[in-house]
């Protein structure tokens, strides 16, 4: 019995701790960087680019190969007297060759340079994928925090409506109000309850969306740490900042722009690679060959030489310095150079497009942040004014100088201002965080 109770409590605490796990923003970001499929694909592409760099560098090394063959020649051949004789032989040969490039028109150097630039572009692509994943996760995380506050505000609204309903009921029974005022309270509770159901549904959908971004197998019990908002960096837009200065700073850190710049430099190397076809090439080659021949049906008194003798007699050694000068290649090199130049133009346009997209995105986020900040300030004043108006109307209602409809109207306006202020706050926070990520902070 004692063992059973111990096992039961252990299981209970394991389940409880699992159910109470709250995801912080940092935990979500770490999970996204390891689980996001696009990031993993870009990482694999970067690893492949590393192999390409190693392969291009190894082209400086000499090549060495060996071969062996075993042949059987069977048949007859004519003799000097016009007759035919059986001429069967067994031939064993083996050889080795060595080749070292001495000059190839700077082809290897430019291939190495292009491969290294391709690697840098691949790493920048991975960083861009991480930036996009991080931005999406932050947006989802802040949306959940906002929805939680909206749910709380909706619950407070329902609570206020219920209090107003009870207050109205007491005043009706005291003969201070007509019974029709109670219907207004019932309708307001129903309206606020419907709003609460919607905000709770929005919260559940936001949790599902973030859990899917994190590639979680199960979203049961998934929730975030609401207190994490207090530990977020308090990024703000400096008053001295302007869109042009932010853009110039972002150009130095934005991964997509960096990747495009690397590919432009790779395109320049591509032109140099194509031009290497105009240069002569020089190779140092060496080789060794040997063989053993065994003939059948030899004339009487004639025998095959031993393997040792043939090994010394048949060996051949070769060393050569080969110069290859291109003269006419059907304009192949010329066409490759033209193609490489067009590739470079494409990359230049890609860079220009990335810069334009970055500027447009920054411009939209920047001015949206300014608008959200101004909206938040004005809503703060509106909320304070509506709070005073609501309290004043409530006091008038208690002395019979205002109707339940007027109280509910002020209460609804106050609730709307609170919700809009929360949205402006989180929109501004997201805009500031996004801009700072674009700036490499």
- The conformation of residue 330, written as its DSSP 8-state character, comes to T
User: Cβ contacts of residue 110 below 8 Å, gap of 6+?
Assistant: 269, 272, 273, 276
Q: Which has more pLDDT, 229 or 415? A: 415
The domain spans of the chain are: 23-61+104-279+330-438, 63-102+284-325
Q: Which H or E element spans position 318? A: strand 316-324
Residues 13-47 pLDDT 10s? 444 444 458 999 899 999 999 999 999 999 999 99
Q: Is 52 exposed, middle or buried (0-12, 13-18, 19+ CB in 10 A)?
A: middle
Tokens found for residue 67? 């071969």
Predicted confidence band of residue 432 (pLDDT cuts 50, 70, 90):
confident
- Please report the beta strands in 14-150, taking only residues with DSSP state E, as ranges in sequence order: 63-73, 76-78, 84-86, 89-103
429 alpha-carbon distance from chain centroid: 23
User: Cβ contacts of residue 234 below 8 Å, gap of 6+?
Assistant: none
Q: Is the pLDDT of residue 188 over 80?
A: yes
- The pLDDT of residue 142 is 93
Predicted confidence band of residue 396 (pLDDT cuts 50, 70, 90):
confident
User: Cβ contacts of residue 260 below 8 Å, gap of 6+?
Assistant: 347, 350, 351, 354
Tokens found for residue 8? 């039961």
Residues 269-290 pLDDT 10s? 999 999 999 999 999 999 999 9
- Please report the beta strands in 210-312, taking only residues with DSSP state E, as ranges in sequence order: 281-295
Residues 320-376 pLDDT 10s? 999 999 999 899 999 999 999 999 999 999 999 999 999 999 999 999 989 998 998
In this prediction, residues 164-171 reach a mean pLDDT of 85
Q: Which long-range contacts (CB under 8 A, 24 or more apart) does 108-112 make?
A: 108/56, 108/59, 108/60, 110/269, 110/272, 110/273, 110/276, 111/56, 111/59, 111/273, 112/53, 112/56, 112/57, 112/59
User: Cβ contacts of residue 64 below 8 Å, gap of 6+?
Assistant: 96, 97, 98
Q: Is the pLDDT of residue 7 over 90?
A: no
Residues 115-162 pLDDT 10s? 999 999 999 999 999 999 999 999 999 999 999 999 999 999 999 889
99 alpha-carbon distance from chain centroid: 43
Q: Which long-range contacts (CB under 8 A, 24 or more apart) does 258-263 make?
A: 258/120, 258/121, 258/124, 258/127, 259/121, 259/124, 259/125, 259/128, 260/347, 260/350, 260/351, 260/354, 261/351, 262/117, 262/118, 262/120, 262/121, 262/124, 263/117, 263/118, 263/121, 263/347, 263/350, 263/351
Q: Look at strands 89-103 and 281-295 and give their pairing.
A: antiparallel
Q: Is the pLDDT of residue 312 over 90?
A: no
358, 254 contact by CB (below 8 A): yes
Closest C-alpha among 119, 12, 108 to residue 62: 108
Question: Looking at domain 23-61+104-279+330-438, does it have CATH number 1.20.1600.10?
Answer: yes
Q: Is the pLDDT of residue 255 over 90?
A: yes
Residues 61-87 pLDDT 10s? 999 999 999 998 877 766 666 666 677
Q: Name the most confidently modeled range: 82-96, 284-298, 391-405.
A: 284-298
């Amino acid at each position: 019995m004692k063992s059973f109770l111990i096992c039961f409590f252990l299981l209970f605490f394991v389940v409880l701790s699992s159910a109470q796990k709250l995801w912080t923003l940092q935990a979500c970001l770490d999970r996204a960087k390891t689980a996001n499929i696009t990031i993993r694909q870009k990482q694999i592409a970067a690893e492949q680019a590393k192999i390409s760099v190693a392969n291009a560098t190894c082209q400086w090394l000499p090549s060495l190969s060996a071969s062996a063959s075993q042949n059987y020649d069977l048949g007859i051949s004519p003799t000097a007297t016009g007759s035919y004789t059986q001429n069967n032989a067994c031939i064993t040969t083996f050889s080795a060759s060595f080749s070292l490039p001495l000059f190839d028109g700077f082809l290897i150097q430019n291939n190495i340079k292009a491969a290294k630039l391709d690697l840098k572009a691949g790493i920048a692509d991975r960083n861009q994928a991480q930036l996009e994943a991080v931005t999406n996760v932050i947006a989802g995380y802040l949306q959940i925090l906002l929805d939680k506050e909206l749910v709380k505000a909706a619950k407070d609204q329902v609570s206020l409506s219920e209090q107003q309903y009870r207050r109205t009921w007491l005043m009706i029974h005291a003969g201070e109000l007509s019974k029709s005022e109670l219907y207004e309270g019932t309708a307001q509770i129903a309206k606020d309850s419907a709003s609460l159901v919607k905000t709770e549904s929005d919260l559940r959908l936001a949790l599902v969306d973030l859990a899917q971004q994190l590639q979680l197998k199960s979203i049961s019990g998934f929730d975030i740490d609401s207190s994490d908002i207090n530990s977020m960096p308090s990024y703000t837009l400096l008053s001295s900042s302007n869109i042009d200065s932010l853009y110039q700073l972002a150009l130095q850190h934005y991964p997509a722009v960096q990747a495009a710049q690397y590919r432009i430099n790779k395109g320049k190397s591509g032109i140099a690679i194509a031009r290497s076809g105009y240069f002569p090439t020089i190779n140092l080659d060496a080789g060794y060959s040997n063989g053993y021949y065994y003939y059948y049906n030899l004339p009487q008194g004639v025998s095959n030489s031993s393997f040792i003798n043939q090994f010394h007699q048949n060996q051949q050694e070769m060393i050569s310095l080969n110069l290859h000068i291109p003269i006419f290649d059907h304009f192949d090199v010329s066409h490759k150079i033209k193609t490489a130049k067009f590739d470079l133009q494409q990359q230049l346009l890609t860079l220009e497009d990335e810069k334009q997209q970055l500027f447009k995105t920054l411009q939209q986020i920047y001015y949206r942040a300014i608008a959200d900040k101004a909206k938040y300030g004005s809503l703060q004043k509106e909320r304070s004014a509506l709070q005073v108006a609501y309290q004043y109307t409530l006091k008038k209602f208690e002395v019979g100088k205002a109707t339940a409809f007027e109280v509910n109207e002020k209460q609804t306006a106050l609730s709307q201002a609170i919700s809009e202020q929360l949205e402006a706050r989180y929109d501004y926070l997201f805009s500031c965080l996004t801009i700072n990520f674009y700036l490499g902070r």
